[in-house]
């Protein structure tokens, strides 16, 4: 089954990319890249810098300082909500991400950032401060704790998580575990395909057909809007559909998260208890194991581990303490 799925997905990706290339040809001149730094923009920046190297030494403008401050507040708040494990603060962090990083700033990490890394075509520090802050924050927090970026900072992921919170659970369809397991690998196939396609064609704009992040700029063509509508409708029925199965950036962060230093604790009792496995909406718990590449550090299981009335570890511990203090009771 796996090779068929892999083949089908690769075929699908190639078809979508080919379609996008055709759409771009129809559109004539390549449109502006709405998210992140496209390679064209970077080339323009290089040219500007060559023309006037003194400009690089100019101090930050007021708008740039405000941008940096806004981004720092949102990122700082996300980390604070993570460290406090507060459900309410996490919802606030998600709302901030959707409206500030998404609709207001369209500031998301994207596969385009990976293209820049792969080709070494990075923005000049002076003109790409927010780019560097977000990119370094994303990689650093992934190495420290895991996919915190996906769990509360990515505006699209935040939007679908908020959608999930309001969609009635009766509408939801859970994929059978065997299908879920293979579907979770599709995003790695997409990541590999888009990287190979980019390296072969240097077509940076095709990413808009595999990433929906452009939606925050409201700048898409008919094909893109149709794909987005289909994706959002499907997300009503299958929670976190894009993040769990299709996101190439999520796949890249999943690979990095294998380096995570501070991982989620597990008790010995987790071997037989299924409470957290059932509670995890990301399919990231399999028996005693946490699949770090799938986990977005949403805190749901950690709240259960810490709950002395829900977690089997604490309940058994209380029982054994009661037995020790009262050895005659049966
Ligand atoms: S998996 Fe992709 S869309 Fe989902 S939160 Fe992560 S980066 Fe965003
Ligand atoms: S429930 Fe636990 S394992 Fe699942 S995504 Fe959330 S933090 Fe990760």
pLDDT band, residue 319 (cuts 50/70/90): confident
Nearest ligand to the C-alpha atom of residue 242:
1
Name the residue at shortest CA distance from atom 7 of ligand 2: 297
Q: Sign of the C-alpha dihedral, residues 8, 10, 14, 19? A: positive
Query: What dihedral do alpha carbons 166, 155, 300, 293 form, nearest 10°?
Result: 130
Contact 213, 160 (CB under 8 A): no
| SS3 call for 285 | strand
| Mean pLDDT computed over every residue of the chain | 85
Q: How many CA atoms lie within 13 A of 272 on its CB side?
A: 4
User: Which two tokens mark 103?
Assistant: 């609709």
Hey, which of 283, 296, 303 would you mutate to test ligand 2's pocket, going by the most ligand atoms within 8 Å of its Cβ?
296
Q: Is the pLDDT of residue 38 over 70?
A: no
CB 290 less than 6 A from any atom of ligand 1: no
- Tell me the per-residue pLDDT of 148-188, one tens digit each, with 9 for 90 and over: 999 999 999 999 999 999 999 899 999 998 999 999 999 99
pLDDT band, residue 51 (cuts 50/70/90): low
Name the residue at shortest CA distance from atom 5 of ligand 2: 295
Beta bridge partners of 289: 286
Q: Which atom from ligand 2 is nearest to the alpha carbon of 282?
A: 5
What percent helix, strand, coil does the chain show, rounded to 5? 70, 0, 30
Higher model confidence: residue 105 or residue 50? 105
Give the closest residue to 103 by CA, choosing from 162, 185, 26: 162
Distance 277 CA to ligand 2 centre (A): 9
pLDDT band, residue 324 (cuts 50/70/90): confident
Cα–Cα dist 118/42, whole Å: 14
Give the closest residue to 252 by CA, choosing from 105, 128, 149: 149
Mean local confidence (pLDDT), 264-277: 91
Cα–Cα dist 211/214, whole Å: 7
User: How many residues are recorded in the chain?
Assistant: 330
Q: How many CA atoms lie within 13 A of 192 on its CB side?
A: 10
Higher model confidence: residue 68 or residue 19? 68
Contact 93, 81 (CB under 8 A): yes
CB 251 less than 6 A from any atom of ligand 1: no
Cα–Cα dist 291/87, whole Å: 22
What's the pLDDT score for residue 197?
93
Distance 115 CA to ligand 1 centre (A): 17
What's the pLDDT score for residue 12?
45
Worst-scoring range by mean pLDDT, 37-41, 257-261, 322-326?
A: 37-41
What's the pLDDT score for residue 24?
45
Residue 277 Cα distances to 123, 149, 171, angstroms: 42, 22, 21
Q: Which atom from ligand 2 is nearest to the alpha carbon of 298?
A: 6
Residues 6+ apart with CB under 8 A from 59: none
- Tell me the per-residue pLDDT of 115-146, one tens digit each, with 9 for 90 and over: 999 999 898 888 889 999 999 999 999 999 99
């Amino acid at each position: 089954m796996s090779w068929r799925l892999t083949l089908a997905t690769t075929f699908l990706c190639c078809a979508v990319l080919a379609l996008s290339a055709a759409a771009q040809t129809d559109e004539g001149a390549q449109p502006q890249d709405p998210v992140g730094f496209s390679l064209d923009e970077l080339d323009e920046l290089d040219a500007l810098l060559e023309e006037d190297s003194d400009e690089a030494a100019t101090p930050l403008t007021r708008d740039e300082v405000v941008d940096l401050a806004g981004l720092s507040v949102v990122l700082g708040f996300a980390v604070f909500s993570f460290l406090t494990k507060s459900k309410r603060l996490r919802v606030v962090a998600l709302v901030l991400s959707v409206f500030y990083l998404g609709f207001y700033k369209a500031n998301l990490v994207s596969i385009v950032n990976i293209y820049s890394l792969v080709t070494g075509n990075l923005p000049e520090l002076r003109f790409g401060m927010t780019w560097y802050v977000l990119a370094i924050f994303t990689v650093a927090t992934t190495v420290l704790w895991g996919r915190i970026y996906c769990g509360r900072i990515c505006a699209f992921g935040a939007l679908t998580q908020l959608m999930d919170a309001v969609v009635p659970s009766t509408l939801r369809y859970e994929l059978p575990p065997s299908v879920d397991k293979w579907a979770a690998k599709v995003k790695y196939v997409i990541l590999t395909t888009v990287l190979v396609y980019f390296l072969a064609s240097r077509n940076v704009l095709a990413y808009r057909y595999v990433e929906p992040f452009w939606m925050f700029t409201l700048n898409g063509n008919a094909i893109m809007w149709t794909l987005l509508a289909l994706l959002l409708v499907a997300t009503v029925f299958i929670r976190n559909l894009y993040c769990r199965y299709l996101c190439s950036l999520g796949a890249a962060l999943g690979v990095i998260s294998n380096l995570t230093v501070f991982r989620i604790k597990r008790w010995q009792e987790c071997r037989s208890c299924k409470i957290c496995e059932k509670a995890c909406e990301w399919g990231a718990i399999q028996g005693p194991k946490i699949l770090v590449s799938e986990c977005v550090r949403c805190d749901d299981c950690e709240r259960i581990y810490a709950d002395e009335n829900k977690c089997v570890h604490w309940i058994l511990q209380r029982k054994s303490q009661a037995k020790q203090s009262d050895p005659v009771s049966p």
